[in-house]
Structure 1
Amino acid sequence: MTDATSHPPFEQLDYVYMPSRDVASDVGYFVETVGSRLIFAIEAMGTRVAMLELAPGPPRLLLTDHLAGDWPILVYRVGNLESAMRDLENHGWQRGTTIEIPQGPCCSFQAPGGQRLAIYELARPEVEQHFVGRRDF
């Protein structure tokens, strides 16, 4: 356990990355029933991803058909991915899969209780704006 003065290296919860069996149908539900704002709906490389805004500000909801399992991944931004991973490892954290996402480097992992988390470094902040308004499906 950490002391009261230490804290995780997370800056902000930016995304809730949720698996979907039917992204188009789920987008319809979130837009028409819940009142969410569709930011984009992209179909590329054999997958569909939609970003929705449920409330002003983060986190944004990402629905995708390529994410295995039923549990969402909470995606937190960190200032420096390598530094954040070192800090977490010093507290017994186990490094997971490290990949590149459009915004920058990312590492996903599971908590002992099965919760799925990811941390990423916002190296390319302009990328999200590139997709705003795109609707492939």
Structure 2
Amino acid sequence: MEPLGRTSEGPRSSRFLQLDYLYTPSNDVAADARLFTELIGGRLAFAVEGMGARVAMIELTEGPPHILLTDHLEGDRSIYIYRVDDLGKAVAALKKRGLKDERRLEIPMGPCSSFVLPSGHRIALYEASRPDVIQHFLGRKDF
């Protein structure tokens, strides 16, 4: 069986374009953000608070994946958030391979679908229909 991220049609038809974010649960987003910046040397891209939740984006490298620390995520495992070019096709391919219980949601960058693998690992796919929205958050420090 061919990996979902690669197809025989070539690299341009890849369903998984890139791992953009590690959506990571945190009991104390501000404290964890300080650890990632002061102890590890990451850059705090933003720290936003709204609708009863805190989210901080940490950049450890110039490019993705970036770490999103949040206090509203259930469980203790990160969600690997992959950008795809066609969310419908990518989700259909995962379902064809046997993944079930798709959870649809909206993230600021666009529509998103998440799955829990039988092992408990969590992945999400999103289509970047609003790619520039992240610029709105950059530099913001609510906490």
TM norm structure 2: 0.90
Identity of aligned residues (%): 52
Residue 126 of structure 1: SS of its match in structure 2? Answer: helix
State the shift of 1:95 in Å: 4.3
Task: Indicate the residue corresponding to 2:9 in structure 1.
Answer: none
Partner of 2:69: 63
Q: 1:34 matched to which residue of 2?
A: 40
Which residue, 17, 21, 31 being the options, matches 1:15?
Answer: 21
Shift of 1:40: 0.3
Aligned to 1:94: 100
Number of aligned residue pairs: give it. 136
| Paired AA for residue 73 in structure 1 | I
Q: Is the 8 A contact 2:5 2:17 kept in 1?
A: no
Letter in 1 for 2:85: G
CA distance in structure 2 between the partners assigned to 1:83 and 1:4 by the alignment: 14
Structure 2: gaps of 5 or more residues: 7-13
Change (3 A) 1:3 1:73: closer
Displacement after TM superposition at 1:56 (Å): 1.6
Deviations 1:29-58 (A, max 9, x none): 111000000000000001100001011210
1:111 aligns with 2:123: no
Unaligned stretches of 5+ residues in structure 1: none
- Say whether the 8 Å CA contact 1:14–1:60 is kept in structure 2: yes
Q: Does 1:51 align with 2:36?
A: no
Deviates more, 1:67-76 or 1:87-96: 87-96
Asked if the contact 2:83–2:125 (Cα under 8 Å) also holds between the matched residues in 1, the reply is: yes
What SS class does the counterpart of residue 135 from structure 1 fall into?
Answer: coil
Structure 1 pair 95–79 and aligned structure 2 pair: CA distance change class (3 A): farther
